[in-house]
């Protein structure tokens, strides 16, 4: 059982502003057993104000933004060392609270964030914090990258530590102070991260955590003390965040939904392609924003690819996320389970052919919020299962007649987060990639979340970039300085 009865604000653990009676701990339930796995208090409006005020003071008058970049790198390196010591605890907690299979939790939910901490420190060491360039008037211009200020980082539940680290670490390295708003479903790992930060002995107010619901997030986003909002979540919620930021003329980065297409060319191997799509589409029970959920296959070879996909999906091990053999765990909540089942019923009613899976629970798993890996074929791109983000283990196969039609179908979406092509000819794959409107793309794989490469989308998948050196750019503003040798 994981329990926190205090909030991490201004470098210390404190009771909610209204006290425990006004803010009793909220329970987090296991998606597998449906039993309580932990509790934590939620912040209220006064706590949002306290956290922003602490972050504001840390930025305006504290030492953090005034340190040399090398000193901040040293502090984050120290934090990464403590995080490494707690990685087993973090993986077990994330698996318990969101149902991620423990093998996946260890790799993608903990090891990858730890790798990113190290990578961002490397990027920061080489970052052009200051550079001189010749001006057009015969004088040199100095360009200094200054921290943007107080950052509100709002993250969803599906990849909580990965998404937290992509925001918090580059912001801290840039010299910003941060207020983190985790999702209610994954609030426990955010509290554990606060313990790690406390042990790293960063200056007070540099990092603060606000567990809570939508009201807490809305107040934080609109708070006049916040300079920049970095949000990952649904497109609908992202629109509201953008409107809130517009009122205060805040900078904002949005990483939103996706409905990514895998274009399978006629020279691709069915088994290798099915394996690649399975890895890219069904990790974390399909609860990944850049999952390949539309599978575009050549009409003349459709049955080969459908059969290979069905065989792979039907053999996946479903069950207890604590079991290292489990490949597919439960969905994060009963609400999410019902939502995904609704899409499966929609696929039936719109005329798609169910190949494997379906809305019925997996055998022997009547408890827990499970959905079987589900494959539809004979679908068209105007069906709901092909147009809307399901966020579950549901794949839709759509046949095409030539490459031109495949590219048209891939681009016929309001989203543009990711995409892939599978082919025996890599150069042919690059040619396809150049014609698909997406922020990221993979050739013979789902897009690889390499810490060195910028990640983000176009269209309704948002704007702004995370990861890579661009991830630090997102938390800096350029100050231009011109100098005369003496006053005029």
Residue 389 maps to which CATH number? 3.40.309.10
Residues 133 and 10 in one domain: yes
Residue 113 maps to a domain? yes
Instruction: Give exposure, 6-35, as e/b (b: 16+ Cβ within 10 Å).
Output: ebbbbbeeeebbeeeeebebeebbbbbeee
324: exposed, middle or buried (C-beta count within 10 Å: 0-12, 13-18, 19+)? exposed
Cα gap 320→413, rounded to integer Å: 35
Can you give the pLDDT at residue 448?
Answer: 87
Cα gap 129→145, rounded to integer Å: 5
Cα gap 176→362, rounded to integer Å: 47
Cα gap 424→435, rounded to integer Å: 18
Residues 230 and 155 in one domain: yes
CA distances from 463 to 65, 167, 250, 261, 441 (A): 26, 14, 14, 19, 16
Instruction: Print the domain residue range for 335.
Output: 261-443
Give φ, ψ of 233 to 5 degrees: 170, -160
153: exposed, middle or buried (C-beta count within 10 Å: 0-12, 13-18, 19+)? buried
Residue 451 maps to a domain? no
CB 157 within 8 A of CB 185: yes
Answer yes or no: 470 catalytic: no
Residue 307 maps to a domain? yes
Cα gap 253→50, rounded to integer Å: 24
Q: What is the pTM of this model?
A: 0.96
Q: What are 317-331's pLDDT values in tens digits?
A: 999 999 999 999 999
Residues 435 and 466 in one domain: no
Residues 182 and 44 in one domain: yes
Number of structural domains in the chain: 2
Residues 211 and 317 in one domain: no
Residues 156 and 130 in one domain: yes
CB 401 within 8 A of CB 426: no
Q: In the block, which residue shows the tokens 């490949």?
A: 327
Residue 448 maps to a domain? no
What is the torsion angle, in degrees rounded to the nearest 10, for the CA atoms of residue 23, residue 90, residue 31 and residue 377?
A: 130
Residues 145 and 15 in one domain: yes
CA distances from 17 to 3, 23, 45 (A): 18, 9, 9
Which CATH number do you get for residue 231? 3.40.605.10
Residues 241 and 286 in one domain: no
CA distances from 336 to 285, 330, 343, 368 (A): 11, 10, 11, 12
Cα gap 45→215, rounded to integer Å: 8
CB 43 within 8 A of CB 200: no
Distance of CA 454 to the CA centre of its chain: 13
Catalytic residue among 97, 185, 255, 304: 255
Residues 73 and 27 in one domain: yes
Among 106, 231, 103, CA closest to 167: 231
Residues 361 and 466 in one domain: no
Task: Retrieve residue 144's tokens.
Answer: 């200094």
Residues 56 and 164 in one domain: yes
Cα gap 406→398, rounded to integer Å: 9
Residue 487 maps to a domain? no
Residue 453 maps to a domain? no
Cα gap 39→37, rounded to integer Å: 7
* Count of C-beta atoms within a 10 Å radius of residue 364: 9
Residue 454 maps to a domain? no
Residue 435 maps to a domain? yes
Residues 277 and 252 in one domain: no
Which parts of the chain register pLDDT below 50?
Answer: none
């Amino acid at each position: 059982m994981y329990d926190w009865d205090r909030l991490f604000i201004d470098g210390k653990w404190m009771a909610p502003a209204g006290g425990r009676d006004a803010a009793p701990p909220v329970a987090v339930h296991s998606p597998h057993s449906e039993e309580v796995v932990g509790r934590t208090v939620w912040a209220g409006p006064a706590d949002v104000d306290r956290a922003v005020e602490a972050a504001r003071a840390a930025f305006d008058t504290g030492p953090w933004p005034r340190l040399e970049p090398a000193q901040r790198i040293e502090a984050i390196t120290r934090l990464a060392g403590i995080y490494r010591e707690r990685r087993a605890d973090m993986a077990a907690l994330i698996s318990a609270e969101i149902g991620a299979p423990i093998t996946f939790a260890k790799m993608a939910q903990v090891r990858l964030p730890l790798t990113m901490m190290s990578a961002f420190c490397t990027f920061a060491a080489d970052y052009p914090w200051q550079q001189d360039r010749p001006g057009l008037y015969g004088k040199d211009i100095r360009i200094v990258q200054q921290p943007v200020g107080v950052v509100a980082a709002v993250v969803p539940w599906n990849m909580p530590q990965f998404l937290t680290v992509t925001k918090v670490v580059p912001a801290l390295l840039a010299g910003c102070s941060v207020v983190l708003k985790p999702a209610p479903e994954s609030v426990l790992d955010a509290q554990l991260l606060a313990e790690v930060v406390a042990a790293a002995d960063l200056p007070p107010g540099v990092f603060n955590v606000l567990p809570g619901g939508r009201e807490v997030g809305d107040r934080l986003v609109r708070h006049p003390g916040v300079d920049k909002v970095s949000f990952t979540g649904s497109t609908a919620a992202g629109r509201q965040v953008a409107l809130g930021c517009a009122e205060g003329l805040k900078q904002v980065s949005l990483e939103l939904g996706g409905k990514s297409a895998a274009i399978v060319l006629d020279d691709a191997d069915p088994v290798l392609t099915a394996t690649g799509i399975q890895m890219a589409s069904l990790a974390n029970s399909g609860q990944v924003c850049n999952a390949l959920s539309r599978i575009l296959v050549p009409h003349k070879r459709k049955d080969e690819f459908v059969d290979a996909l069905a065989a792979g999906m039907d053999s996946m091990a479903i069950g207890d996320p604590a079991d290292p053999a489990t490949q597919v765990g439960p969905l994060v909540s009963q609400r999410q389970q019902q939502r995904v089942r609704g899409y499966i019923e929609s696929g039936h009613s719109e005329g798609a052919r169910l190949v494997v899976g379906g809305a019925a629970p997996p055998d022997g798993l009547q408890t827990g919020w499970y959905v079987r890996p589900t494959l539809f074929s004979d679908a068209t791109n105007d069906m709901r299962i092909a147009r809307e983000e399901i966020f579950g283990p549901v794949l839709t196969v759509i046949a095409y007649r030539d490459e031109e039609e495949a590219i048209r179908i891939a681009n016929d979406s309001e989203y543009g987060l990711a995409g892939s092509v599978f082919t025996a000819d890599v150069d042919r794959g690059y040619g396809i990639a150049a014609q698909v409107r997406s922020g990221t793309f993979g050739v013979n794989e789902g897009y690889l979340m390499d810490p060195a490469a910028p990640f983000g989308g176009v269209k309704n998948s948002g704007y702004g970039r995370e990861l890579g050196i661009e991830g630090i750019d997102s938390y800096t503003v350029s100050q231009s300085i011109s100098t005369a040798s003496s006053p005029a």
